[in-house]
Amino acid sequence: MTTLFEKGALGDIAVKNRIFMAPLTRNRAHPDGTPHEMAIKYYKQRASAGLIVAEATQISPEGKGYVNTPGIYNEKHVEAWRKVTDSVHETGGKIVLQLWHVGRISHTSLQPNGGQPLAPSDIRASADTFTESGVEMASTPRALLTDEIGQIVDQYAHAAKLAISAGFDGVEVHAANGYLLNQFIATNTNHRDDQYGGNVANRARFLLEVVDAVSAEIGAGKTGVRLSPTGTFNDVHDEQVEENYTYIYSELSKRRIAFLHVAEKFPGIAVPDAGLDLLAQLRNEFDGAYIANGDYGRESATESVKAGAFAVAFGRPFIANPDLPERLELGLPLADVNEDRLYGGDETGYSDYLRFEDNERQIAGVTQ
């Protein structure tokens, strides 16, 4: 029976355990999208994860929705990310990059030339974003023209190519949490009447075109997808979850992608039992490596892997515990995350968390 601490492979990516680091937005990149030098230490500290899914990274200037988030669309980004991937690989880790376009969850101050955010339809989100001025409500978007969608598909493929050039072991297409690809899937955000709106196949078309383009560029064995079928984050309310995601899971299964990473729960947002039952039902539609994510602890993660999940991705626990796999394996206590230092700032609450043994030495030194 598979355990959290066994080796395995997702497509072309070999991993040393089933404890993965989830993508975590930290808002510590340079304003031009270049990853900050602090990220080198931060990710290296967490290289004992079976796989690191690096933070959501915009594929274009228009894909940006929050202040100081990283990009992957020019050579300067590639050079900076390569220092991160080199540090992870030197420590024996594996890392993939999450490819991101926020769609309507943005603000005009974050867009090139103060333009409107892009979306499937011109429906403003009841959601906030973070700008240079602080928390602000997302701006009213404009609906993408049909021929513009193909341009964004190309941007995803280009970003994937650059990610591999930067040394990443693969990519994760972000189609969850109320961002652009999720907006095309959901019924309340997509009111289009062209080939990208209306029926289930049409609303899934954009995502599948992106997956096909990325797979053609770097290989399906290096391509993963993240979904949140029952999620309502960023004002997504889908009235056809079962129909939409039964189709999407099945189509992704046919494409033999490296993995499917599913956000099952969100901090502070309750998921009814019916939603959890639906997620369990949908898993039968995907014949591949399934990564579970959402409020897992040691015991629940162990049970999930025993029940068939390939791995479990941890978010906040990996922030506060850079040595999380070792702590879980040895049954050591977990440190708490500093909630006030999650987004933005310096190394405090970012790369200053200690491994268990270093923390114990520090405590002993203080008491002596």
Q: Would you name the residues annotated as active-site residues? A: 179
Q: CA-CA distance, 319 to 345, in Å (whole number)? A: 15
The mean pLDDT value for 270-296 works out to 91
Phi/psi region, residue 185 (left: phi>0; alpha: psi -120 to 50; beta: rest), is alpha
Please give the angle made by the CA atoms of 143, 147 and 148, to the nearest 5 degrees. 55
Q: 362 - beta bridge partners?
A: none
Q: CA-CA distance, 81 to 163, in Å (whole number)? A: 8
What's the pLDDT tens digit per position in 207-217? 999 999 999 99
Closest to 288 in 3D by CA, of 219, 241, 221:
221
What's the pLDDT tens digit per position in 35-52? 999 999 999 999 999 999
Q: CA-CA distance, 102 to 58, in Å (whole number)? A: 8
Q: Could you list the residue range(s) of the whole structural domain that residue 164 is in? A: 8-367
Q: Which residues contact 260 (CB under 8 A, 6 or more apart)?
A: 224, 225, 227, 249, 252, 286, 288, 289, 290, 291
> Is the model's pLDDT at 234 over the cut of 60?
yes
Say which range, 239-248, 270-279, 295-304, has the weakest mean pLDDT: 270-279
| Inside any domain, residue 142 | yes
What pLDDT does residue 1 have?
63
Q: For residue 317, how far is the Cα from the chain centroid?
A: 16
The pair phi, psi for residue 167, each rounded to 5°, is 100, 5
> Number of H helices and number of E strands within the chain?
11, 14
Q: CA-CA distance, 22 to 55, in Å (whole number)? A: 8
pLDDT interval class at 274 (50, 70, 90): confident
Are 173 and 223 contacting, i.e. CB atoms less than 8 angstroms apart?
Answer: yes
SS3 225: strand
Q: CA-CA distance, 236 to 248, in Å (whole number)? A: 17
Percentage with pLDDT > 70 across the chain: 99
Q: CA-CA distance, 240 to 231, in Å (whole number)? A: 13
Q: CA-CA distance, 291 to 319, in Å (whole number)? A: 19
Per-residue HEC secondary structure of 47-97 comes to CCCCCEEEEEEECCHHHCCCCCCCECCCHHHHHHHHHHHHHHHHCCCCEEE
- For the chain, give the mean pLDDT: 96
What pLDDT does residue 107 have?
98
Total domains present in the chain = 1
Q: Is 367 exposed, middle or buried (0-12, 13-18, 19+ CB in 10 A)?
A: exposed
What's the pLDDT tens digit per position in 133-169? 999 999 999 999 999 999 999 999 999 999 999 999 9
What pLDDT does residue 363 have?
77
| Inside any domain, residue 93 | yes
pLDDT interval class at 368 (50, 70, 90): low
| Inside any domain, residue 306 | yes
What pLDDT does residue 192 have?
98
Q: CA-CA distance, 291 to 15, in Å (whole number)? A: 13
> Is the model's pLDDT at 268 over the cut of 90?
no
| Inside any domain, residue 3 | no
Percentage with pLDDT > 90 across the chain: 93
| Inside any domain, residue 291 | yes
The mean pLDDT value for 353-366 works out to 81
Token pair of 311 as six digits = 């791995």
Which amino acid is it at 224?
G
Q: CA-CA distance, 297 to 331, in Å (whole number)? A: 11
> Is the model's pLDDT at 365 over the cut of 80?
no
pLDDT interval class at 255 (50, 70, 90): very high
SS3 246: helix
Which amino acid is it at 69?
T
Give the pairing type, strands 13-15 and 8-10: antiparallel
Which amino acid is it at 138?
A
What's the pLDDT tens digit per position in 93-138? 999 999 999 999 999 999 999 999 999 999 999 999 999 999 999 9
> Is the model's pLDDT at 276 over the cut of 90?
no
- Produce one character per residue of 72-101: b if its CB has 16 or more CB atoms within 10 Å, e if not: bbeeebbebbebbbebbeeeebbbbbbbbb
* CB atoms near residue 197 (< 10 Å): 19
What pLDDT does residue 270 have?
73
| Inside any domain, residue 198 | yes
| Inside any domain, residue 189 | yes
Are 291 and 259 contacting, i.e. CB atoms less than 8 angstroms apart?
Answer: yes
Closest to 107 in 3D by CA, of 68, 72, 67, 144:
67
| Inside any domain, residue 1 | no
SS3 181: helix
Q: What is the CATH number of the domain that holds 164?
A: 3.20.20.70
